[in-house]
Amino acid sequence: MTGGARGIGRATAVAFARRGASVVVTDVDRDAGEAVAEEIGGRFEHLDVADPDAWQRVVDTAGPFDLAFLNAGISTSGIAPMPGQPIMALTDDAYRRIMGINVDGVVFGARAVMPAMVARGSGDIVVTASMAGLHPIALDPIYGLTKHAVVGLVRSIAAGIEQLPDTPDVCVSAICPGFVDTAIVGPELRSIVEQRGLPLMEPDHIAEVVVRSLTERVQGAQWIVWPGIEPRVYRWNHGIIDADGEGHAS
143 tagged catalytic: yes
Count CB-CB contacts under 10 A for residue 76. 25
The pLDDT of residue 181: 81
Alpha helices in 19-91 (DSSP H): 30-40, 52-62
Q: Mean pLDDT of all residues in the chain?
A: 89
Written as one letter, the residue type at 18 is R
Express each pLDDT in 39-82 by its tens digit.
Answer: 999 999 999 999 999 999 999 999 999 999 999 999 886 544 44
145 contact partners, CB below 8 Å, separation of at least 6:
none
| Phi and psi, residue 235, nearest 5° | -125, 135
Q: Is 140 exposed, middle or buried (0-12, 13-18, 19+ CB in 10 A)?
A: buried
pTM: 0.89
Half-sphere exposure of 37 (CA within 13 A, CB side): 21
- CATH number assigned to the domain with residue range 64-248, chosen from the 4 options 3.65.10.10, 3.40.50.720, 3.40.190.10, 3.10.20.600: 3.40.50.720
Domain chopping of the chain, boundaries: 64-248
pLDDT for 226-239, tens place per residue? 888 888 898 766 55
Active-site pick, 16, 44, 55, 143: 143
Please give the pLDDT value at position 87. 86
